C-alpha cells in the first residue's frame, strides 16, 4: 500500500505524464508539501486528499486512480424533467445536460455526455457536446424515452427523460393592427 501512495503522490508532482493512462496531473511539489506540513498534519492519504488544494482535482483524482486508489466520486445527476415539443417544430439546444449534472472533482466542461438510446427514433434526438437537440419526424406525434450517459473519465452514470411530441390542434391568429 505504501508504494501505491508514494506513486500517487509522485504522479501528482511530476510533469511527465504517462499517457494514455490516467496520469494527467501536474501540480508540482509545493501544493503537496503545503498540505503535508500543515500545522494539523495529515497521517493518511485520504486526509491528504481531503485537504489537497492543487486546484485541478479532475486530473489529480485520475493520477491517484492510476495507482489503484479510488477517491473519485461519480457524477451526480439531478432528475431531468420530462420535455415536450410541438409537432413539425425543430429545437436545437433545447436541453443543456450540464445544468443537471454535478461532479465534485470535474467541471462540466471536462465531463463527456452520450445518448445511449432513444425508444423511438422518430423523435429525432441528437447530441451536440452537452446540448440535446430534437427534430421530430414531420407530422409525427408521440413520445420517446431518451437515455443519457455522463462520464467523468473514471465513473459513469446514466439517467433519462421523456420527450413528448404534441399535436397542434388549432392555430390562433392574432389580429393585425395597421396604421394608415
Measured CA to CA, the distance from residue 139 to residue 173 in angstroms comes to 21
Contact assessment for residue 130 and residue 113, using Cβ atoms and an 8 Å cutoff: yes
Distances (CA, A) of 95 to 113, 133, 147, 160: 12, 7, 13, 12
Sign of CA pseudo-dihedral 7, 12, 16, 22: positive
Phi, psi of 47 (to 5 degrees): -65, -40
List, for residues 131-174, the tens digit of each pLDDT value. Answer: 999 999 999 999 999 999 999 999 999 999 999 999 988 666 66
What is this structure's pTM?
0.77
List, for residues 72-107, the tens digit of each pLDDT value. Answer: 899 999 999 999 999 999 999 999 999 999 998 888
Q: Which pairing describes strands 91-96 and 125-128: parallel, antiparallel, or unpaired?
A: unpaired
- What's the pLDDT band for 1 if we cut at 50, 70, 90? low
Residue 31 has what pLDDT? 75
Residue 54 has what pLDDT? 60
List, for residues 15-62, the tens digit of each pLDDT value. Answer: 776 666 677 777 777 777 777 777 676 677 777 777 776 667 887 788
For the chain, the domains span 2-66, 76-166
Residue 93 has what pLDDT? 94
According to CATH, what is the number of the domain 76-166? 2.60.40.10
Amino acid at each position: 500500500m505504501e508504494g501505491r501512495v508514494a506513486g500517487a503522490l509522485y504522479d501528482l508532482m511530476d510533469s511527465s505524464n504517462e499517457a494514455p493512462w490516467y496520469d494527467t496531473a501536474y501540480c508540482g511539489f509545493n501544493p503537496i508539501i503545503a498540505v503535508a506540513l500543515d500545522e494539523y498534519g495529515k497521517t493518511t492519504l485520504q486526509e491528504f486528499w481531503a485537504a489537497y488544494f492543487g486546484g485541478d482535482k479532475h486530473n489529480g483524482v485520475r493520477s491517484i486512480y492510476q495507482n489503484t486508489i479510488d477517491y473519485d466520486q461519480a457524477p451526480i445527476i439531478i432528475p431531468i424533467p420530462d420535455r415536450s415539443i410541438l409537432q413539425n417544430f425543430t429545437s436545437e439546444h433545447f436541453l443543456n445536460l450540464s445544468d443537471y449534472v454535478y461532479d465534485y472533482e470535474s467541471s462540466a466542461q471536462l465531463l463527456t455526455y452520450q445518448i445511449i438510446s432513444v425508444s423511438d427514433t422518430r423523435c429525432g434526438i441528437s447530441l451536440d457536446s452537452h446540448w440535446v437537440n430534437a427534430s421530430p419526424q414531420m407530422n409525427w406525434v408521440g413520445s420517446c424515452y431518451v437515455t443519457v450517459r455522463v462520464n467523468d473519465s473514471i465513473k459513469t452514470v446514466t439517467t433519462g427523460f421523456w420527450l413528448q411530441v404534441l399535436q397542434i390542434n388549432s392555430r390562433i391568429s392574432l389580429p393585425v393592427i395597421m396604421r394608415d
